[in-house]
Structure 1
Amino acid sequence: MSKQWKRPAMALATAFAISNALAAQVIGVDASAPAAAPVTGHLQLGAASTPRGSVLGANNRYLTLDGQPWMPVMGEFHYSRSPAATWEAELAKMKAAGITVVASYVIWNHHEPKDGAFDWKGNRDLRRFVQLCGKLGLKAVVRVGPWVHAEVRYGGIPDWVVDGMRTRGNDPQYLRHVARLYREIGAQLKGSLWKDGGPVIGLQLENEYNLGGPGEGAEHIAKLKQLALQAGMDVPYYTVTGWDGAQYPSGQVTPVFGGYVDEPWAVSTTELPPKETYAFRFDSRVSGDLGAQTKSHGPGTAETDIDKTPFLGAEYGAGLPFMYRRRPVVSPDDIASMLPVQLGSGVNLMGYYMFHGGRNPVGGTTLEESSISGGYNDTPAINYDFQAPLGPDGQQRAVLEYLRPFHYFIAGFGDRLAPMTVRKPDVTPEGPKDLRTPRVAVRSSGDSAFVFVNNHVRQYPMPAQALQFDVKLAGGTVRFPRQPVTVPNGAYAIWPVNFDLDGTRLRYATAQPVARLDGGADGITYVFAASAGIPAELALEADSAAIDTAAPRSMAGSATVVDVTPGTARALTIRRAGARPVHLLVLPADQSRRLSIGEIAGQRRLVLSGQQTWFDGGKLHLRSVGEAAMRFAVYPALARTPKAAGSAGSATLRAQGSDGVFQAYEATLPAVQLTATAAPLRQALPAPAVMKGGLAKAAIQPIPEAWRTAATWRIDVQPDALKHVDDALLQIDFTGDIGRLFDGTRLADDWYYSGYRWQSGLKALAANGQQPNELSLAVLPLRADAPVYIPKEARPDFGAQSQIARVNNVSLVPVYKVTVTP
């Protein structure tokens, strides 16, 4: 396992050679001035104590838990867009990915499609969803609307409300129905609030709200908060979205922010300029256009409140949706490189939208946002994949592996980072379009700091930078590394300065802290992640501690500098008289993405695996798409050989010896071959020209009657496909405009063509527990002149054709699951 992850010596030599060839830059940051003390008492929090005395708080800089700085990671998961039977496992997957708070919209028209007829059953069972959050040790923020956007019809407000009254203001008729909705939500949450010992710590009121006028603006948000309290929803935190000129009553609610790496709601059919999301912000919090459907022409309350509220995130895009006119496909680096930028800009709650994809339910009509229903965007009727880290069928996407080390860093060291203030370097880019000036920020407190570096901008190559840093702190200046280090195009990192290793000071490291693991008598292990292409250099204060290492070392003033070759073996061990040893483990970048951390056999352990992993009840779960053999390695080692069981058959578990400090295993299930075929039923007809119009005055989704021109295929899957597997993913590779998957006459799933892989789980497609057996696929032709943005990598070559509608391949991929019990 470890051989493929060891960095070749040639790569290090190449990095040094490039560094010497570049003009070195020393980035100076004066972080010596003390920061002002946090201001408290001005934010109106709700009931903040549990029956056991645990207390949540907030000041103008950060959140607190039991009086200590607290930095959560929040991920959005819409319960009503996901099968209820999967919720517990999906929440456990989110927890294993480092999510500590789950956010979810309550989408009104999913619950009250007709006046007074509420539905809180099955996939709409909010009570059960938040209870499962509590069972798994996750906290919850409920986004109660009543308008939520969420790319849903009328922003979630039911048709009968939109048709019958004035919405999004203090109209008495509207408020009566909102009050009833809030009472229903309050009944669902009763007993699950923080003050009851439950997981619900916050409510978001409305969404993207910047309306102003009589009965609107701050007056309306204040009224919504009053109605929420009257409905029994007394929670520590009340939030509103703070972008696009948001209007709210200062002090009564706290704004949250976000940012996306592209704009599917834009009207451009070409690549966008470099996004502000990749540029450090030193005096603002709003990251460009976030797609609000109403517009404000002046600064909002969030701008005037910037010194009064902590910098909290709720909608940093962990992916992007596909909208009809614009379908950007993002890479894991596009998303993960946001984290150093946002954290370096002062964010103290990293909140994602969406972390888990889903599918829209179907009511009396489809419930997606569309131009036909007056929306600004056209979105798929069913599919809400969002390119999220966890797909609609629970599949793990590559981006999750890139985000996870940052989440573990926040979980392990967020209490150190949260009180740190942002410090601006002496040289900064002129703006988001400046691609040559190094992008660096520092957060510091006293004599400790973190340096944040980003050299990645989506779709724009960045020059390699040869950098050194001069960080001036209260106790003196730290220059590092010894020689300028090359930061290649696409690289991004967080590096510590004067970092405490249980009594030993790490003066600096060009590797990112990931986690601290308490191994009992065996000592403490600090896990670091190296950055690809950047040598890992660690400098430790040379005091009374003994440093054991096989790596090359040298002295630089009063520090011992260790040049680490990343791998699965301990990089070094620090030994102090009368103290437990402290071990440092430095993983290569690609290996750190295979790292998950959770409790196995009553102890928090590290697990390395190329498979999807999560933890529950002291057990380890592994899930693999297409591979019946699953390898994993555990540290600290288990006391005895574990057992393995497959979800749909026997599993064989074999010990594979040691891999550095890790104990390696391989679990194998019987391999299954699954088949799916596509047989043409109807050829495409000439598709009508794509129309422009709607609120965006851009390309709009074809009208329903245009589907008479679609090509159609019958999809056959073997009847016993789910017999020996955890699930089976139907993969549809097509080229066209829109694909629709039917089970009989029921629209089961749909997809906008973009080059991004479309998968549908057979379990999700099943009706009444029965595997679908009447599947068909309709593909609306993509016209060569369609004014829509499709990434150039996926834009088809039309040749002499005026349109394309074809199926390239249909396959059925087995999904295996193994549970490892110590």
Structure 2
Amino acid sequence: MPASPPRRIEVTPTHLLRDGAPWFPVTGEIHYSRIPRARWDEVLGHARAGGLTTVATYVFWQAHEPTRGDFRWDDNLDLRAFIQAAANQGLEVIVRLGPWAHGEARHGGFPDWLLDLPLVPRTDDPAYLALVTILYAQIIDQLHGLTHGEGGPVVGVQVDNELYDQPGHLATLRTIAEELGLRVPLWTATGWGGAQLPENLLPVYSAYVDGFWEDSATPWPAFAATHFRYSTVRDDLGVGADLRAALDASTADGTVAEEHRFPFATCELGGGMHVAYHRRPLVTARDVAALAKAKLGSGSIWQGYYMYAGGTMRVGPHGTEQESQATNYPNDVPTRSYDFFAPIGEFGQIRPHHHLLRRQHLWLAADGAALAAMPVHIGGGSDDPEELRWAVRGDGRRGYLFLTTYQVDRYPLAPQPGVQITVDFDDATVTVPHRPVDLPAGVSVAWPLRYPLTDDLTLRSATAELLTRFDGGEPLVVFVATDGVAPEFVFDGSPAVDGPVTAEAVDGGVRLRPTVAPGAGCRFDVDGVTLLVLDEAAADQAYRLPVAGRDRLILSEVPVRATPDGLVAHCEQASFRLAVWPPTAPPRSPAAIALEPADWWSSWQVRQADAGHSSITVESSPVVAEPYRPRPGGPLGRLSAPTDFSGAGRVQVTIPAEALDAPTTLLRIAWSGDVGRCLVGDEVISDHFWHGRVWDTCLSDHRDAILAAGGVTLELLGWDPAAGVWVDPSVRDAPPGVTLRSIDLIQVSRIPLTFHPSQEKESC
């Protein structure tokens, strides 16, 4: 991997700088040691296609030194290879060094042998620090030549995790790493829970829609609602509260006294949510996207997601390596699955919020540097669901108006009729919309104010969101209209306009309204700049990726990622449509490609017979299972997960050999019950605490064993409504016992689409 000259990265009190200019990174957590090495490139490719600029990853001590003195960096423990794979996708890396990681790992990631020694972990105990020094030396050796100062992708590290009352120890950890030769521009530590941090670590924060770590009697965590409002409060007192005896920085009224000496950076915006046995949240894709945008409207200058890609819990010398009540953790979590309902699932499934978040990330790629330097003004919005929630980020000359009527479905906000906001800038006042609009319930928007399209053309305001822009010979600016809100565009002056719009002179400018519905065909020209206004469905299909020698706008009905030669489409269906702008010649592919008529775009239909869904008939139905009666356990007396499956209902699932020919074959189970396990022989390859979602298991990862066994066995424990387990009210009325609604095989094909610059149409 060739080294490139490092670009100076600095932290100011308000934002990050790169080469002296504001910089807005977007980071997603991906655990290399929980994903098969063969899947790394695919997952990282989707992360890059999703708009990430950086990936973060834990280094789990227990995985790398299972036996004292015997370090492993092979197979999917090869940290160095993972970082290089990320760099090959154009991603930079934040390494979460530990020593303590948590991540729902056994003992927080500590190896068992460490806890048998006479020392005090997570302190400056010399015996502990001696072992940490050995661990850090091993990690830093893996990073040799890969750090930012050496022209590599590692731009930052985090020391320890969720350590709220040992600032001196955190400082010691940084000193140890630096004395071992580690040089990176960004040194971070988690700041939530009222954490006390040393001056030389950047606090990074969290925000979750819900939390499995809450008590089973909690309908919705009290602090979670604040994450759907615009607020200058950065802390979340709920995250990690089950592991803290007290919050030294919290005040009597439950708030945190915050001194904003650093910019507002996040590392754990909930990309989904894990489940525990006693409490099983049902976070939605729209929840995740709305929370992320609320943090942008609250002043975030670094978006970091946990998790961005799910994984599978490891198995080590002591069995499965998940945290549990057996290791004095308050909560029992699944033994294998760490899917987290992340944008990229445990087995590479692409979830709806991968698309919803990509829309935000494309905007940040286009204008995040300007947004990063814009302070926030909270205009309105309390815990009153009837009050309009709004904020402005602006630099005195231009900015963005944030509005939201979104909160989780169980606690919805009211629609807002007649919305109109007046914003004062240094030299002008802008009222947006020009005429009041009714803002529907369940939306979250960021509308541009005084946005420069060119040096001579300013978009005064719009009731549509910026998605991306292409400058150069054929300038294009792409917007997204919000469902239920008619898009308007108000320009300063009297620009030349051409296309399907109505024009109305207003206050020294012109107000334009498209006369065709937002979508792939809604475009018009203003002073030589083309504006394309997509609807939300089309925006969810929009990518910006390098194709045929340049960045292009892509609309794809299936997930795609970039390769050096073009694209790879991940397809669960027999055919899909793909459109590209600027137009280019058809790609070469083993799949059948048919040109479709399209104005302005190049558009094709791609047909692939090796993908699709098929149903499986199982041998035993209905499923008869004895009820599991959970008992309280662990330090907080929460319900304990079952370890005895002798009373489980058993279902034999025969897997046809030809079903395993696809690159990825998933077994998808729609069911209700309590806990399920999928076994090949005696090995548990997947488990699921039922919470209202389908249960996916990747058969391809165990192909040979499944072929030898002829299939898999499901062990299913029945649902007991009276057991006290918390599930979302929308699924809480599941019948007692086990209900097996369907079992499907999902065959996912990888379809290469090869483009070359020589294929590009001359009109481009």
TM-score range, shorter chain: over 0.9
TM-score for both structures, normalised by structure 1: 0.87
1:208-357 to 2 correspondences below 5 Å: 208-211=162-165, 217-250=166-199, 252-269=200-217, 271-272=219-220, 275-292=224-241, 293-299=243-249, 306-357=259-310
* CA drift at 1:271: 2.6
* CA drift at 1:675: 5.6
Query: How far apart, in 2, do the equivalents of 1:51 and 1:571 lie?
Result: 39
**Alignment of 1:497 onto 2:446:** no
Query: How far apart, in 2, do the equivalents of 1:688 and 1:562 lie?
Result: 63
1:541 corresponds to: 492
Find the residue that maps to 2:645 and give its secondary structure.
helix
Find the residue that maps to 2:687 and give its secondary structure.
strand
Note the residue ranges of structure 1 that are not aligned, 5 or more in a row: 1-49, 212-216, 576-580, 646-650
Specify the code of the residue in structure 1 equivalent to 2:413: M
Query: How far apart, in 2, do the equivalents of 1:599 and 1:283 lie?
Result: 37
**Alignment of 1:766 onto 2:708:** no
Query: How far apart, in 2, do the equivalents of 1:320 and 1:303 lie?
Result: 24
**Partners of 2:297 and 2:376 within 8 A in 1:** yes
1:98 corresponds to: 51
Q: CA separation of 1:563/1:629 partners in 2, compared to 1, >3 Å: closer, same or farther?
A: same
Query: How far apart, in 2, do the equivalents of 1:685 and 1:513 lie?
Result: 53
Runs of 4+ with >6 A deviation = 300-305, 768-772
Find the residue that maps to 2:42 and give its secondary structure.
helix
**Alignment of 1:566 onto 2:518:** yes
Query: How far apart, in 2, do the equivalents of 1:494 and 1:295 lie?
Result: 39
Query: How far apart, in 1, do the equivalents of 2:728 and 2:256 lie?
Result: 35
1:214 corresponds to: none
2:595 corresponds to: 655
* CA drift at 1:682: 11
Find the residue that maps to 1:144 and give its secondary structure.
strand
Q: CA separation of 1:112/1:767 partners in 2, compared to 1, >3 Å: closer, same or farther?
A: farther
Question: Which stretch of structure 1 is more off in the superposition, 295-304 or 151-160?
Answer: 295-304
**Alignment of 1:635 onto 2:581:** yes
Question: Which stretch of structure 1 is more off in the superposition, 96-105 or 478-487?
Answer: 478-487
Query: How far apart, in 1, do the equivalents of 2:707 and 2:12 lie?
Result: 53
1:384 corresponds to: 338
Find the residue that maps to 1:742 and give its secondary structure.
strand
Q: CA separation of 1:368/1:816 partners in 2, compared to 1, >3 Å: closer, same or farther?
A: same
Specify the code of the residue in structure 2 equivalent to 1:791: D
Q: Which among 337, 340, 353 is matched to residue 399 of structure 1?
A: 353
1:31-70 to 2 correspondences below 5 Å: 52-70=5-23
Q: CA separation of 1:762/1:686 partners in 2, compared to 1, >3 Å: closer, same or farther?
A: closer
Find the residue that maps to 1:572 and give its secondary structure.
strand
* CA drift at 1:574: 2.4
1:811 corresponds to: 744
**Partners of 1:447 and 1:474 within 8 A in 2:** yes
Find the residue that maps to 2:173 and give its secondary structure.
helix
1:594 corresponds to: 541
* CA drift at 1:767: 5.4
TM-score for both structures, normalised by structure 2: 0.93
* CA drift at 1:304: 6.7
Percent sequence identity over aligned pairs: 32
Find the residue that maps to 1:720 and give its secondary structure.
helix
CA displacement, residues 207-241 of structure 1 (integer Å, 9 cap, x when unaligned): 11113xxxxx1110011111111232211101000
Q: CA separation of 1:732/1:341 partners in 2, compared to 1, >3 Å: closer, same or farther?
A: same
* CA drift at 1:790: 1.3
Query: How far apart, in 2, do the equivalents of 1:486 and 1:507 lie?
Result: 20
**Alignment of 1:821 onto 2:761:** no
**Partners of 1:210 and 1:295 within 8 A in 2:** no
1:720 corresponds to: 658
1:81-480 to 2 correspondences below 5 Å: 81-164=34-117, 165-211=119-165, 217-250=166-199, 252-269=200-217, 271-272=219-220, 275-292=224-241, 293-299=243-249, 306-364=259-317, 365-425=319-379, 427-429=380-382, 431=383, 434-458=384-408, 459-466=410-417, 467-480=419-432
**Partners of 2:615 and 2:742 within 8 A in 1:** no
1:777 corresponds to: 714
Query: How far apart, in 2, do the equivalents of 1:208 and 1:166 lie?
Result: 17
Higher relative contact order (CA 8 A, sep 6+): 1
* CA drift at 1:303: 6.5
Query: How far apart, in 1, do the equivalents of 2:4 and 2:353 lie?
Result: 39
Query: How far apart, in 1, do the equivalents of 2:87 and 2:630 lie?
Result: 48
**Alignment of 1:608 onto 2:562:** no
* CA drift at 1:697: 2.2
Question: Which stretch of structure 1 is more off in the superposition, 121-130 or 459-468?
Answer: 459-468
* CA drift at 1:462: 1.6
**Partners of 1:499 and 1:508 within 8 A in 2:** yes
What number of residue pairs does the alignment pair up? 740
CA displacement, residues 661-685 of structure 1 (integer Å, 9 cap, x when unaligned): 3221011112567564432399755
**Alignment of 1:694 onto 2:626:** no
Q: CA separation of 1:772/1:394 partners in 2, compared to 1, >3 Å: closer, same or farther?
A: farther
Query: How far apart, in 2, do the equivalents of 1:446 and 1:784 lie?
Result: 56
* CA drift at 1:53: 4.6
Query: How far apart, in 2, do the equivalents of 1:282 and 1:612 lie?
Result: 34
Query: How far apart, in 2, do the equivalents of 1:592 and 1:492 lie?
Result: 15
CA displacement, residues 79-123 of structure 1 (integer Å, 9 cap, x when unaligned): 000010110121011000001100000011111111111111111
Q: Which among 520, 528, 532 is matched to residue 483 of structure 2?
A: 532
Specify the code of the residue in structure 2 equivalent to 1:259: A
2:760 corresponds to: none
Q: CA separation of 1:512/1:688 partners in 2, compared to 1, >3 Å: closer, same or farther?
A: closer
Query: How far apart, in 2, do the equivalents of 1:60 and 1:536 lie?
Result: 36
* CA drift at 1:583: 1.1
2:688 corresponds to: 751
Find the residue that maps to 2:116 and give its secondary structure.
helix
Query: How far apart, in 2, do the equivalents of 1:769 and 1:685 lie?
Result: 24
Query: How far apart, in 1, do the equivalents of 2:152 and 2:489 lie?
Result: 43
* CA drift at 1:281: 4.5
Specify the code of the residue in structure 1 equivalent to 2:483: A
CA displacement, residues 465-521 of structure 1 (integer Å, 9 cap, x when unaligned): 021010011112111212211111101100011111022110000100011113x42
**Alignment of 1:644 onto 2:589:** yes
1:620 corresponds to: 567
Query: How far apart, in 1, do the equivalents of 2:304 and 2:191 lie?
Result: 13
Query: How far apart, in 2, do the equivalents of 1:769 and 1:717 lie?
Result: 8
* CA drift at 1:200: 0.3
